[in-house]
Amino acid sequence: MTATTTGAATPGGPTGPTGPAGPVSANEGRSSGAAFPRLLAMEWTKFRSVRSTVWSLLAFVVLALGLAALITALTVNSWDKADPDQKASWLRDPTGNILGSGFFLGQLAICVLGVMVITSEYSTGMIRASLLAVPRRTPMLAAKSVVFAVVTFVVTEIVSFGAFFIAAPILHSKVQVSLGDKGVLRALVGAGLYLTMLGLFAMAIGALIRHTAGAITGVIGFVLVLAPLAQLLPGSVGKHIHAYLPTEAGHLVAQSAPGPKDLLSAWQGYGVFALWTALLLVAAEWMLKRRDA
């Protein structure tokens, strides 16, 4: 009579628990907290090794710095002929106008990068390898979000301060602004926070749509198309819908002074944008667990 031993050790090999699908690896037996740093390292390797990362960030740097300097110089040169409302806007919020000069187009590069962080894996089929390495999909999405957010925040903060220190001396002859003025430091930090949240917003849409062109179109629709259309709605309803749109609310944190028509404060607006992004990320996580790669 022979006895069958369950979970017996093989010669020269480690022992481990078994499950319905076979032996459970040592890595799977460890806590998710211990494994998360390895997920971050994996996502960092993927993020920095993709050429679209470098080109998107380079496009953002060139657009943000170049346009901030160019538009500020053009504003100074045409100051005497400028519209009174335009002059009042620069006098009220020079920092917001400096940043807005380059970030209006530069933010599109962040949107594209946010989308491609996730959709490029679907287009190349790498998502299958990622999910084989990390069967639990929520930690994978969390690690991807953390890596993307940290890199984006660092780059956009450097560019925000760079744009300010380049454009402020150009503007000095017409409007004097310094880092110690009220709201300036918060606006510069807020610009990086806004662009980081915008990138996560774009990444969530990319995870939901899973197609690069479609996701980029959807994000650009939110950023450039939906807000002007909302302004066409009549009365206070249109004003409130416009004010609570994600990018319209979020960019308030990058202003050093509130605008005359703003319905939300800087941090209220950023909170609204964060809520939009959180809801989309939750939806993306829910769909990621329920759809095949």
> pLDDT 10s digit of each residue in the chain, 293 long?
444 444 444 444 444 444 333 333 434 434 444 588 888 888 898 888 888 889 999 999 999 999 999 999 999 999 988 888 889 999 999 999 999 888 888 999 999 999 999 998 887 777 777 777 666 778 888 999 999 999 999 999 999 999 999 999 999 999 999 999 999 999 999 999 999 999 999 999 999 998 899 999 999 888 888 888 888 888 888 888 989 999 999 999 999 999 888 899 999 999 999 999 999 999 999 988 777 65
What SS3 class is residue 46?
Answer: helix
pLDDT tens for each residue of 240-251: 898 999 999 999
Pick the closest to residue 197 from 107, 273, 99, 100 (CA basis).
273
Cα–Cα dist 257/181, whole Å: 11
pLDDT tens for each residue of 89-113: 999 999 999 998 888 889 999 999 9
pLDDT score recorded for residue 30: 44
pLDDT tens for each residue of 114-145: 999 999 888 777 777 777 766 677 888 899 99
Task: Report residue 257: phi and psi, to 5°.
Answer: -145, 145
Three-state SS letters, 79-142: HHHCCHHHHHHHHHCHHHHHHHHHHHHHHHHHHHHHHHHHHHHHHHCHHHHHHHHCCCHHHHHH
This prediction's pTM: 0.84
Q: Phi-psi bin for 105: left (phi > 0), alpha (psi -120 to 50), beta? A: alpha
60-89: b or e for each residue (b if 16 or more CB lie within 10 Å)?
Answer: bbebbbbbbbebbeebbeeeeebeeeeeeb
Which residues lie below 8 Å from residue 93, measured CB to CB, with a gap of 6+? 255, 256, 257, 259
